[in-house]
Amino acid sequence: MLFEELCLLCEKLEGMSGKNAMVALVSDFIKRLNGDELEPAVRFIVGEVLPPWSGKELGVGYKTVYKVVSDIVGASGDEWLRLFNACGDFGATVQALFERRRRAQRLVTKRLTIREVYERLLRVCDASGEGSRKRKERLVASLFSDASPLEAKYLAKVILGERRHGFGEALMEEAIAKAFGVPLRLVHRVSMLTSDIGLTARIARMGRRALEEQGVVLFHPVRPMLAERASSLREALREVGEAIIDWKLDGARVQIHKRGRVVRVFSRRLSDVTQSLPEVVEAVLGGLSAEEAVVEGEVVAVGEDGGPMPFQYLMRRFRRVHGVRESREDVPVKLYLFDTLYLDGELLIDRPLEERRELLVGRADEELIVESIRTSDLREAERFFKRAIEEGHEGVVVKDPRAPYTPGVRGRRWLKVKAAPHTLDLVIVAAEYGHGYRYKYLSDYHLAAYDPETGRFLVVGKCFTGLTDDELEMMTRRLKELAVKQVGRVVYVVPKVVVEVGFAEIQESPHYPSGFALRFPRILRIREDKSPQDADTIETVRRVFEERRARQRISSGGSH
């Protein structure tokens, strides 16, 4: 199938708002795809070339696309800016520039196919070593040179991971189920088990039985089960009853896959971080007795006294590819395991947590297991919570012993209770240049919560405090690379950067489409371990608002 047909589909999606109509349109489209087109087409539509765990990256940002397109069409910086501000979208700007070139030169473009675009982008991923940046640039330029204006628009979007039409993985799962006449729950399960929407589509085409028989694919990370918040231990135990209570460590969650002596470590964002964390590999090889396993845990930076170091130190390790030996000496890390999803050929996610934990304890060295208790007694839970805080940890996670592992689901079978006041993990969707000495920094951030129903991000406030000068400089560079348009002093960006935000309260507000506004927000830290989809949802914001309002009513009522 021609790539142009996929571009026309995405163009239609951009003009649509009804979920059912969008699903029907994409369903009809993917039914017409050939076998070798299905996986890349499905990935392109949701804004990716390869899954994040693949270890392969295009390594092409806005600057490269800007340079390539400028060279092809002969556009000046002023022309780019004028069209960018008029179009309000990077891809649409590329299309407008290509339209001008076509009118001027009347070029006949090559007819690109979906498969050809995919294979040529894989060559971009594979370019590595000395001179790789120039090779990548030449390969991207060659691809754009063969594109029509509409194709150039969506090439830019695919390469940069933009998805403005709101058709994310959740809607794609519905489209796949509809296209191949299989249950949505099975499509969702396989998508969560494999973390590969393209592979999920291929399995779904094979039918219901193929979906039912699909298990874990070693070295394809499973989407993590996520915890909801509880305002207190009392609330958590009231909901869960007798619980397994783990220390909530101030670290980064990891999922570890093992086959024989081969171990790979994946971050919460599903990225392969094995190379950065050799101690984790060594700990698993030396302390986990299983030929094949998928286990989950937390990695914590530890100081000379053996206690936890601040989260920011740990992130230095996660970003490291070079100088790992030196950084290992400066910031040693320790692994704590808390769950097992697969052991020696058996998928365990449908078994209750108490059984999974028992299997983990039976296979892993004691020093690798997170500190935990099992109790329904509030006083015992409070003593355990106090000890966690005294040891330098964030709090506890209260878990239902009977709960299965539900990949990709944030639910109330796991409840986190923290010592600090409520915080929210939010996504930066725009930033403004500051004033005074901050005039050259993007320092005022528009913060948004995730809406899983639409795949969009809803702004809940603006924040300009919390970051150090070094962090401001780093954030400005990062956001400029993610910029999609600028209006006056406001730069709108691809929603990729997650920050943890403290605040005084949440108010109802007609000023934002979300209906809520944070009062006195402050950025506490940059969460490089979290993807935008891991950010707190608008439903979480609503729940925190309602909990606080209920407490205020009780307090007010008690004072009369």
What positions carry a catalytic annotation?
248
Task: List phi, psi (to 5°) of 312.
Answer: -60, -35
Contact 3, 112 (CB under 8 A): yes
Please give the angle made by the CA atoms of 131, 141 and 15, to the nearest 5 degrees.
Answer: 130
**Bridging pattern class, strands 292-301 and 483-487:** unpaired
Rounded distance, CA 271 to CA 308, Å?
24
Rounded distance, CA 184 to CA 169, Å?
12
Helix (H, G, I), strand (E, B) or coil at 260: coil
Rounded distance, CA 458 to CA 122, Å?
34
Contact 116, 58 (CB under 8 A): no
For residue 302, give the amino acid letter. Answer: V
Residue keyed to tokens 């087109």: 37
Beta bridge partners of 411: 227
The helix or strand, by DSSP H or E, that contains position 192, with its residue range, turns out to be helix 184-194
Contact 357, 339 (CB under 8 A): yes
Query: Is 342 buried (19+), middle (13-18) or exposed (0-12) by CB count in 10 A?
Result: buried
Rounded distance, CA 457 to CA 538, Å?
9
The helix or strand, by DSSP H or E, that contains position 92, with its residue range, turns out to be helix 90-105
Count the neighbouring beta carbons within 10 Å of the beta carbon of residue 208: 14
Q: 102-137 burial, b for 16+ CB within 10 Å, e for fewer?
A: beeeeeeeeebbbbbbbebbeebbebeeeeeeebbb
Residue keyed to tokens 């499905």: 42
Rounded distance, CA 238 to CA 240, Å?
6
Rounded distance, CA 318 to CA 529, Å?
8
